[in-house]
Amino acid sequence: MRCWRLIIITASVALFTEFACAQVVSFGQRIFHEKADCQFCHGVDGDGRGDPRSPGRASDLHKTFLTREQLIDVIACGRPATQMPHFDKYAYEDRCGGFSAAELGKDVPPDPHSTSLNRREIEAVADYILAVFKGK
Ligand code: HEC
Protein backbone atom coordinates (compact mmCIF):
# COMPACT_ATOMS: atom_id res chain seq x y z
CA MET A 1 0.00 0.00 0.00
CA ARG A 2 2.69 2.39 1.00
CA CYS A 3 4.45 1.79 -2.27
CA TRP A 4 1.37 2.73 -4.30
CA ARG A 5 1.04 5.91 -2.41
CA LEU A 6 4.64 6.75 -3.25
CA ILE A 7 4.06 6.00 -6.92
CA ILE A 8 1.01 8.21 -7.01
CA ILE A 9 2.81 11.05 -5.26
CA THR A 10 5.79 10.75 -7.61
CA ALA A 11 3.53 10.72 -10.65
CA SER A 12 1.67 13.80 -9.47
CA VAL A 13 4.88 15.67 -8.83
CA ALA A 14 6.13 14.74 -12.30
CA LEU A 15 2.88 15.88 -13.89
CA PHE A 16 2.91 19.11 -11.97
CA THR A 17 6.54 19.83 -12.97
CA GLU A 18 5.72 19.16 -16.61
CA PHE A 19 2.74 21.48 -16.37
CA ALA A 20 4.79 24.21 -14.67
CA CYS A 21 7.52 23.96 -17.34
CA ALA A 22 4.98 24.14 -20.15
CA GLN A 23 3.50 27.24 -18.53
CA VAL A 24 6.88 28.98 -18.40
CA VAL A 25 7.58 28.10 -22.02
CA SER A 26 4.26 29.40 -23.30
CA PHE A 27 4.74 32.59 -21.24
CA GLY A 28 8.17 32.99 -22.89
CA GLN A 29 6.69 32.25 -26.28
CA ARG A 30 4.17 35.07 -25.94
CA ILE A 31 6.93 37.46 -24.95
CA PHE A 32 9.12 36.45 -27.90
CA HIS A 33 6.36 36.70 -30.49
CA GLU A 34 4.10 39.37 -29.09
CA LYS A 35 5.03 41.51 -26.12
CA ALA A 36 8.74 42.09 -26.84
CA ASP A 37 8.50 41.33 -30.58
CA CYS A 38 11.90 39.61 -30.71
CA GLN A 39 10.69 37.98 -33.92
CA PHE A 40 10.83 41.34 -35.71
CA CYS A 41 14.62 40.86 -35.87
CA HIS A 42 15.19 37.19 -34.99
CA GLY A 43 12.39 35.82 -37.16
CA VAL A 44 9.30 33.84 -36.25
CA ASP A 45 11.42 30.68 -36.13
CA GLY A 46 14.30 32.34 -34.26
CA ASP A 47 16.62 31.75 -37.21
CA GLY A 48 17.65 35.38 -37.58
CA ARG A 49 15.45 35.98 -40.57
CA GLY A 50 13.20 38.69 -39.28
CA ASP A 51 11.43 41.28 -41.27
CA PRO A 52 13.75 42.42 -44.09
CA ARG A 53 13.52 45.94 -42.71
CA SER A 54 14.67 44.94 -39.22
CA PRO A 55 17.91 46.62 -38.21
CA GLY A 56 21.22 44.84 -37.75
CA ARG A 57 21.94 41.22 -38.41
CA ALA A 58 20.10 39.36 -35.68
CA SER A 59 21.61 36.07 -34.50
CA ASP A 60 20.25 32.68 -35.48
CA LEU A 61 19.14 31.49 -32.03
CA HIS A 62 19.30 27.83 -33.09
CA LYS A 63 23.08 28.27 -33.29
CA THR A 64 23.63 30.09 -30.01
CA PHE A 65 26.22 28.72 -27.60
CA LEU A 66 25.04 30.86 -24.72
CA THR A 67 24.08 29.36 -21.36
CA ARG A 68 20.89 30.35 -19.53
CA GLU A 69 22.77 32.99 -17.49
CA GLN A 70 24.40 34.43 -20.60
CA LEU A 71 21.09 34.54 -22.48
CA ILE A 72 19.51 36.42 -19.58
CA ASP A 73 22.45 38.80 -19.60
CA VAL A 74 22.23 39.57 -23.35
CA ILE A 75 18.46 40.04 -23.21
CA ALA A 76 18.65 42.32 -20.18
CA CYS A 77 21.72 44.30 -21.26
CA GLY A 78 21.62 44.08 -25.05
CA ARG A 79 24.91 43.95 -26.87
CA PRO A 80 26.99 47.11 -27.01
CA ALA A 81 27.72 48.47 -30.49
CA THR A 82 25.03 46.29 -32.13
CA GLN A 83 21.31 46.63 -32.75
CA MET A 84 20.46 44.08 -30.00
CA PRO A 85 18.34 46.19 -27.60
CA HIS A 86 18.51 46.06 -23.80
CA PHE A 87 15.22 44.86 -22.34
CA ASP A 88 16.01 45.77 -18.73
CA LYS A 89 14.82 49.33 -18.36
CA TYR A 90 17.56 50.15 -15.85
CA ALA A 91 20.33 48.30 -17.70
CA TYR A 92 22.57 51.32 -18.12
CA GLU A 93 21.88 53.03 -14.85
CA ASP A 94 23.75 50.48 -12.75
CA ARG A 95 22.98 46.91 -13.68
CA CYS A 96 25.03 45.90 -16.68
CA GLY A 97 28.65 45.23 -15.90
CA GLY A 98 28.90 48.59 -14.17
CA PHE A 99 28.83 50.46 -17.48
CA SER A 100 26.74 53.58 -17.70
CA ALA A 101 25.20 55.00 -20.85
CA ALA A 102 27.67 57.89 -20.66
CA GLU A 103 30.69 55.57 -20.64
CA LEU A 104 29.42 53.56 -23.59
CA GLY A 105 28.52 56.68 -25.56
CA LYS A 106 27.26 55.84 -29.02
CA ASP A 107 27.82 52.11 -28.36
CA VAL A 108 25.03 51.90 -25.79
CA PRO A 109 22.53 49.22 -26.92
CA PRO A 110 19.27 50.74 -28.19
CA ASP A 111 15.96 50.79 -26.33
CA PRO A 112 13.57 48.12 -27.58
CA HIS A 113 11.08 49.21 -30.25
CA SER A 114 8.50 47.23 -28.26
CA THR A 115 8.73 47.45 -24.48
CA SER A 116 11.12 46.67 -21.66
CA LEU A 117 10.73 43.46 -19.65
CA ASN A 118 10.96 42.59 -15.98
CA ARG A 119 13.29 39.92 -14.62
CA ARG A 120 10.63 37.19 -14.67
CA GLU A 121 9.80 37.90 -18.30
CA ILE A 122 13.48 37.94 -19.28
CA GLU A 123 14.00 34.54 -17.63
CA ALA A 124 10.92 33.13 -19.34
CA VAL A 125 12.04 34.21 -22.79
CA ALA A 126 15.53 32.76 -22.12
CA ASP A 127 13.90 29.45 -21.12
CA TYR A 128 11.81 29.58 -24.28
CA ILE A 129 14.97 29.97 -26.40
CA LEU A 130 16.58 27.02 -24.58
CA ALA A 131 13.50 24.82 -24.97
CA VAL A 132 12.59 25.61 -28.56
CA PHE A 133 15.57 27.05 -30.50
CA LYS A 134 19.02 26.33 -29.05
CA GLY A 135 20.65 23.32 -30.73
CA LYS A 136 17.42 22.43 -32.57
C1 HEC B 1 16.11 45.49 -33.31
C2 HEC B 1 16.44 44.11 -33.59
C3 HEC B 1 16.47 43.12 -32.45
C4 HEC B 1 15.45 42.83 -31.55
C5 HEC B 1 14.08 43.46 -31.45
C6 HEC B 1 15.95 41.76 -30.73
N7 HEC B 1 17.22 41.42 -31.08
FE8 HEC B 1 18.36 39.97 -30.24
N9 HEC B 1 19.92 40.47 -31.46
C10 HEC B 1 19.86 41.43 -32.46
C11 HEC B 1 21.16 41.51 -33.12
C12 HEC B 1 21.51 42.42 -34.29
C13 HEC B 1 21.99 40.56 -32.48
C14 HEC B 1 23.43 40.22 -32.81
C15 HEC B 1 24.38 41.03 -31.97
C16 HEC B 1 25.82 40.73 -32.36
O17 HEC B 1 26.18 41.03 -33.49
O18 HEC B 1 26.53 40.20 -31.52
C19 HEC B 1 21.17 39.94 -31.44
C20 HEC B 1 21.64 38.97 -30.55
C21 HEC B 1 20.84 38.29 -29.65
C22 HEC B 1 21.29 37.22 -28.80
C23 HEC B 1 22.72 36.69 -28.70
C24 HEC B 1 22.84 35.38 -29.42
C25 HEC B 1 24.24 34.82 -29.40
O26 HEC B 1 24.38 33.60 -29.48
O27 HEC B 1 25.21 35.60 -29.33
C28 HEC B 1 20.20 36.79 -28.09
C29 HEC B 1 20.16 35.66 -27.08
C30 HEC B 1 19.09 37.60 -28.49
N31 HEC B 1 19.51 38.51 -29.43
C32 HEC B 1 17.80 37.46 -27.99
C33 HEC B 1 16.78 38.37 -28.23
C34 HEC B 1 15.50 38.32 -27.54
C35 HEC B 1 15.07 37.25 -26.56
C36 HEC B 1 14.79 39.39 -27.99
C37 HEC B 1 13.44 39.84 -27.52
C38 HEC B 1 13.23 39.94 -26.07
C39 HEC B 1 15.62 40.08 -28.98
N40 HEC B 1 16.81 39.43 -29.07
C41 HEC B 1 15.23 41.20 -29.69
C42 HEC B 1 18.77 42.20 -32.81
C43 HEC B 1 17.57 42.22 -32.14
Nearest protein Cα to ligand 1, atom 26: 64
pLDDT digits (tens, 9 = 90+) for 3-28: 788 788 888 877 777 777 777 779 99
pLDDT digits (tens, 9 = 90+) for 82-122: 999 999 998 888 778 777 888 888 899 999 999 999 999 99
pLDDT of residue 1: 62
Which among 59, 66, 77, 120 is the best mutation to test ligand 1's pocket, defined by most ligand atoms within 8 Å of the CB? 59
- Does the beta carbon of 132 sit less than 6 angstroms from any atom of ligand 1? no
Q: Give the distance from CA 124 to its chain's centroid.
A: 6
φ, ψ at 45 (rounded to 5°): -95, 10
Domains of the chain: 2-132 (1.10.760)
pLDDT, greater one: 124 or 22: 124
Query: Which of 76, 120, 66 minimizes the C-alpha distance to 99?
Result: 76
- Does the beta carbon of 130 sit less than 6 angstroms from any atom of ligand 1? no
